[in-house]
Structures are given as structure tokens and as C-alpha cells.
Chains A and B, each alone.
Chain A
């Protein structure tokens, strides 16, 4: 399920997605059509642009938030041109924050990474664009102030949707060390020890809202 108002990009994305073995059940050009098409097709995942007709403001994002209010488990991947965390935070606040992704449009150029992120979101994961995360890293405010630089780094990678193994590989440390870091992060952010995946998402949310 694809919503993008630029014909050029829409066709390009359809080509890209079909090529990587995904079926685009419907491609629409504005927010109302998106809501209607989701009703009709019940897709596995929605990929939408932020800015769409009729107002060319953030209709696409709002449509996504509304869709998730109705069906909290519907995975949504939002493509955007804006690095600002406000947009990502609004999306992550919808539902419980799992099964959502916020990526800059630049990312569709990195085909493999993009498709990987798509599948992660479809499987209920949370993905935030590294660029957005990078900007957040500059902020040093409570409650993130208590985190060590290394822990912040780990949290940033969690936000990008990476698994413990992938993080360990990226930071060139053992997976056990990463587990310890994550444990510290969760304690410092005062997140109750319930369902593990869910806590990761909550950590990311804390991160974005800070």
C-alpha cells in the first residue's frame, strides 16, 4: 500500500518494491484516497509521504496517525523530507509506538537498507532515520542526561531499529556488553521490566520526546 503524490516517485517506488519481491496492492496520490484504500485492501504495511494534497501540509502523516488510531497494529512507514523530531514523535506516539517507521526520503536510494527497514516495520519493529537520531544525539537534556555517551550511542542504534547483534557488530563489542548497556539504559530511563521488545520501543519514545 503506497501513498505518494509525486508521480515520478510513486512509479519509482512501485518499481523498487515489486523488484524486491513485494506486492503493491494500491498506490494513491492523496491522504483521503489513502484512508479509503486501506479500508478496501487491508494491507500488510502502509508507506506514505508526509506532505500530500489537498493542503500540502502534513496530511500524509496525519492520515497515518488516524489510521493507527483505528487499527493500532497497522504497520506504517512514513517517508519524509524533514529531519525535525516533532514529525517522528507524532508518528511514534500513535498506538504503542511499535510497527512504525520514520525515514528520510534519501533512504529509498539505499535500496537494501530501505527494504530491510520496510520488513522490520511490517514485523512490528520501530525504525527512525539515522539522520533524525543524529540530531537528537546533540541534545543533552533530562532524562537522557544520565546516560553515558556509550549508552546514548546504543540507544540511538535501537531507535534505528537495530537488533542487539547488529549493534554489537557496529560498535565492535560483544553482544553481552550490549545487553548490559541496554539494561542500564532501561533502568536509568525508569522503564518497568515487562515485555522486552516493548521496553525498547518505550526507550526510543523517551528519547524522541526528551
Chain B
């Protein structure tokens, strides 16, 4: 099997079913089902009988509670058995008791629906389902198996002259005996599917009655969270690609253009042509400067080449408000964290410059207890609101994808403090001087 089937239905829909481990799993499921079902029947009947007998002397009445709760262990065993043929997680529907102790436990169990569903399942299992399991095993496995052994029977018990097939028909010749054996093999193959369908149906019923749907939801949530991370990573990769394309394409061409214009200016005789060339040259220069800023905004190369520390220092350089930086990292965080942290700092500094009216700002941060943290504070007028359409809302989403936290405190009158932190490990920084 190259790919693992999640459950028996998937397994049966694939061509290699008969040769895989699944027929064995299915057989084990039904076989253990028949055994535990019979055991459950004996157990429940015994408890009920004892309780019934004692009920006459009134002591038995409280003991009926034990009968009511008998579904719980049965369901527990059943959920474990489900793992044989279903890889999806199965969890119980029971709630965790609010307080420790037997009384609280009883109180919770007797009040919740799950207990009664499990009792219902236990009764159904003990009364009806395990005989179905046993019947399926007999018809789909034992009958064909006994047919396969016909030649063996003929050689041993029948002295080479005769054998009985399924205790019904008598076979007297070797070819017929082998024919029956081949037929038995074919029926075994068919039987495996019959067992699969039975086990599949049984597991669906069990899931419906005694398994919580949270397992599926949990799996979905995990998958959703993963796909969100993948999206952010794809988004990051895309930004880097655009940065690279612009750098290698448009930017180089513009440089070549300004160079050509510069050379042309050297050759041009003074006059209107030279003036026009000068103008064109200046425009090209402005375009180049604008493009450089644009590219830097898309994905700053200094972040890739030198890491977060240098990029944050650079962002502080660019801010019109003087910024003190106290931030040191002994290594490099993962790319996605680096980039999210950088853009949070940039956005915060932009807000400081635009709205706060601050004279000074401060960026500090580091890596402690497996968390990267960064704080941007200013001495401005405060009153910043993260939800009021600022770029921080989008950034908060990006931060939360990485399991990070973004907190903003900005009382009216200031000061404003923005703190972002991410759980992450640092990798050793590449040695640039090497």
C-alpha cells in the first residue's frame, strides 16, 4: 500500500484490498466483536439479574444505576476496537466532570445524553449486533475456508475416497475436491468484501451512537490551520518572487536606460535637445528611486540577507521620528516569523510617524523562553485603535497564523505600546564573513 487508507470503505475502493492488511483487520474487528458482544450479554444479564433479585429487598434499586452505567465500559471497548478499521480519531462524547470525586462523576454521567446513548448501544450490541458479527464471520469466512480444506479432508479423514463439503454434499473424486477448493478460494475473496461491508456498516453505527463528532471537527480544524499556514507561506514566497522579478527585470532595464541617457547627455550639443535629455534623465532617475522604494516595500532584501535585527534597524533608520533600537538576536527565526515581525514593526513605526505626534520612539526586543518578542513604544498622544481600519488588523491575522500574539495598549494621552511575540526557535545565523 503506497497510501494509507483512512478507513475500511476507502480500503475497499482500492485495487489492492485483498492483498493488504485490511481483510485481516476487518476479520479481527468482527471476531473480537462477536466475543466482546457475547461477554457483554453475559455481563449485563448477570448484573441485571442480581439487581433484579436484590430489588425485592430494596437494596437492589440503587444498584440499577450500575446497569444504567454499564454502557460506558462497553462503549469504551468499542471505541478502541474501532481503531482496527478506522484511522480517524474517535473520542467519547462524555464531558469531564466539573469536580473530582465519585459523586460529581455520577452526577455528570447520569445527566448527560452520552451515557444513555451508550447504554442503548450496549443493549443493541449484546442483543443483536454480536450475532450479526458471528454470522458474517461464519458465512463469509468459515464456509469458504472449509471448502478450501476439502482436498485435505479427502486425503486424511476420507482415506482418499470421499469427503463432505459443509457437511452436506459428498465429493468422491479428486478433481471435484480441488474444484470445490478453488471455488472456496474465490468465495473467500468475495467473503472479504462481505466482511468489509459488514464491518464498515457496524463501525458507522458505532460512530453514530458512541463517538463524538469532535474528532472529525478537530481533524478539520487542524487541517484548516495547516492550510492557513501554507497560504501565508505561499503569500510570502510570492512576494519574494515579485521582488526578484522586479529587481532582475524592470530595475536593471531602468538602470541601463539612465546609463544610456547619461551617455547621450555627454554627446548632446547644448540646446533644446540637451535640455530634453536632461529632463528625461531626471525622470528616469526618479522612476528608479520610486521603483527601489516599491521593491523594498514588497519584500526588503536586507531581511533575507542580514535577518531581522538589521531589517528592524533599517526600518528605524527610515522612520522620520527618531527611534532608539535595543534588539539583539543570536540567530535567525523562521522566514515567516521574521517577515511578520518585520512588517509589524514597520506598520507600528509608520503609525508612530503618522498619528502619534511622538518626538521619540523605541523598539526593543529579543528572544527569551523560546519566544521572539518585539515592542514598539512612543511618547505620543495615544488613543490608537487596532480595530479602526489600521494596517494592524491584517497583520494581527498574520501573527495569529504563526501562533503569535499582538497586543496594543494606547490610553488617550499616551504612551502607546505595541507588543508582538511568536513562539519560535532560532537557527544559527549564517556566518557572513566566511
Q: Which residues of A contact B (CB under 8 A)?
A: 6, 8-9, 12-13, 15-16, 19, 51, 56-58, 62, 65, 81-87, 90, 104-106, 108-112, 114, 131, 135-136, 138-141
Contact = CB atoms under 8 A, between A and B. Distances in A.
B281 A8 contact: no
Contact of A13 (B258, B259, B301, B316): B259
B266 interface: yes
B20 interface: no
B298 to A, nearest CB: 13
A81 B259 contact: no
Contacts of A106: 255, 258, 285, 288-289, 292
Nearest to B301: A82
Contacts of A82: 296, 301-302
14 contacts: A9-B252, A81-B251, A82-B301, A84-B302, A84-B317, A106-B258, A108-B262, A109-B284, A111-B262, A111-B263, A111-B265, A135-B318, A139-B316, A141-B324
B281 A109 contact: yes
A86 B247 CA distance: 19
Interface residues of B, number: 42
Nearest to B316: A139
A141 B326 CA distance: 12
A8 B301 CA distance: 22
Contact of B314 (A58, A84, A109): A84
A53 to B, nearest CB: 11
A85 B306 CA distance: 11
Interface in B199-257: 244, 247-248, 251-253, 255-256
Contacts of A56: 244, 248
Contacts of B256: 6, 8-9, 12
Interface string B272-304: 000000000100110011001001100011101
B210 to A, nearest CB: 57
Given A84-B301, A109-B284, 6 more contacts: A87-B305, A105-B251, A106-B288, A108-B258, A138-B317, A139-B322
Interface of B: 244, 247-248, 251-253, 255-256, 258-263, 265-266, 281, 284-285, 288-289, 292, 295-296, 300-302, 304-306, 310, 313-314, 316-320, 322, 324, 432-433
Contact of A138 (B251, B281, B300, B318): B318
Interface centre among A106, A108, A141 (most CB of B within 10 A): A106
B409 to A, nearest CB: 26
Contacts of A62: 432
A131 B255 CA distance: 16
